[in-house]
Amino acid sequence: MLDHNMMLLHLTMGNLPFYISDLPVVLEINLVMTMVFVVLTILLLSLILYLRVHKNSQNHRRKKLNLFIIDFINNYLFNEDFDKEKETRNFKNRHLRTSLDKQIAIDQILVFAENLKGESSASLKEVFYGFGLKEFLLTKLTSKAWYKQAKALNVAYQLNLEIPMTLVDSLFNTNYKKLRQQAFLYYLHMSTENPLGFLDKVEIPLTLWEQIYIENGLKSYDGETPDFSKWLHHDISSVVIFCMKMIADYNQFEHIPILLRFLHHQNPELRQQAIISLRKMEEPELLPILIHNFNEETLLIKHEILKTIGKIGSEKHLKSIGKFMVTEEPSLEVEFKKVALQKNLEASHFLGANFNTIKYDNLPY
């Protein structure tokens, strides 16, 4: 009886395609879609299960290898009986076989580097080279993946590793901003004489964040402060603007004559930054030029002129502006009145005719 039932089941399964083709079209489509869905579900669950097992395996491997590396570095740094050359070679052959292993080793060395200086820091570099990680790092630096290149540069920066500058130079004009920032920082950090030499090779405008990165990098630079006037005639205006900022921040008063010439530049952004830098340096020749050019300036620069009068000007300068300042722009009048209040003056005594017709009730003071 059992054999008979098995035979019927076998015949039924064998003829399943024929049975499906005999079904109505709607049922046939539903059955096929159901089978496809079941297969996809099984595949998806299998993939999820595989990824979970793989991730757990990697985490277990990472924890285990981290403990081995910590123990190795502690012995390398503090155990006088430790055979450094032999143990380094053995550790490399036994534990650093895959890219994951090498990346784990780099991450752990960076943790030590954050907390150790002096001789210990030099010993960490020995471990890094002994493990063959520099070669691994260079492969990352020449990778097509920009984030791998950026991470490799960051590691080289953190550990003071010397890498071929030709590899770094090629990244100054990349479209990937994070990678470009790392290239700037590495060049600045490793330079001994010309930390801003990369500006000669820059062909893409500097973003505000890049300027901030460079400025912060200069704060930790131990060498001689660069002469920022070298790049005041750069083809890219953002580079010029950055150097104007730095001239004021580092009080390079000897470059004031060059900045004064920028007050007549055709680019309003350069004129504006020249005003800001000269105002910060409290240059007395600034205001006569600004007042003379006031009527010909843009609204934005007129605001900068009023701010300059507020900081380093006098009643005479305010009066000189008020006599010919004619505008329908309320924000400029507000700025004028703020400056007058700073100097304890009555703004209406200085304003032009057009200003006297403007209603003040709803203006934001």
pLDDT tens digits, one per residue of 310-333: 999 888 888 888 776 666 578 888
Position 80 in a domain:
yes
Position 40 in a domain:
no
The contacts of residue 331 (CB under 8 Å, 6+ apart) are 299, 303
Position 335 in a domain:
yes
The C-alpha atoms of residue 194 and residue 309 are separated, in whole angstroms, by 37
DSSP string, 48-82: HHHHHHHHHHHHHHHHHHHHHHHHHHHHHHH-TT-
| Nearest C-alpha neighbor of 306 from the set 329, 240, 267 | 329
Whether residue 245 contacts residue 273, with contact meaning beta carbons closer than 8 Å, is answered with yes
pLDDT of residue 22: 62
pLDDT of residue 362: 41
**Residues 235-241: contacts with CB under 8 Å, at least 24 apart:** 236/202, 236/203, 236/204, 236/205, 236/206, 237/205, 237/267, 237/269, 237/270, 238/205, 238/206, 238/207, 238/211, 239/199, 239/202, 239/205, 239/206, 240/270, 240/273, 241/269, 241/270, 241/273
| Nearest C-alpha neighbor of 240 from the set 270, 213, 278 | 270
The C-alpha atoms of residue 91 and residue 77 are separated, in whole angstroms, by 15
Whether residue 308 contacts residue 290, with contact meaning beta carbons closer than 8 Å, is answered with yes
DSSP state of 204: S
Indicate the residue among 82, 100, 131 that finishes a domain.
Answer: 131
Domain hosting residue 341, numbered range = 302-365
Place of tokens 């005594």: 349
| Amino acid identity at 233 | H
Position 316 in a domain:
yes
DSSP state of 326: -
Place of tokens 């190795």: 72
Indicate the residue among 113, 131, 149 that finishes a domain.
Answer: 131
Place of tokens 């098995």: 6
Indicate the residue among 131, 153, 176 that finishes a domain.
Answer: 131
Please give the C-alpha separations between residue 159 and each of 56, 107, 125, in angstroms, as whole numbers: 30, 11, 7
**Total residue count of the chain as it appears in this document:** 365
The C-alpha atoms of residue 261 and residue 336 are separated, in whole angstroms, by 26
pLDDT tens for each residue of 81-90:
889 999 999 9
The C-alpha atoms of residue 214 and residue 309 are separated, in whole angstroms, by 31
Whether residue 20 contacts residue 26, with contact meaning beta carbons closer than 8 Å, is answered with no
Position 318 in a domain:
yes
Count how many Cα atoms sit within 13 Å of the Cα of residue 62 in the half-sphere of its side chain.
Answer: 13
| Nearest C-alpha neighbor of 279 from the set 311, 301, 302, 249 | 311
pLDDT of residue 315: 85
Residue numbers of the chain with a pLDDT score lower than 70: 1-24, 28, 54, 324-328, 345-365
Give me the number of domains the chain comprises.
2
Phi, psi of 201 (to 5 degrees): -105, -5
Residue 180 burial (CB count, 10 A): 23
The C-alpha atoms of residue 326 and residue 332 are separated, in whole angstroms, by 10
pLDDT of residue 336: 84
- Exposure of 4 by Cβ count < 10 A (0-12 exposed, 13-18 middle, 19+ buried)? exposed
Position 348 in a domain:
yes
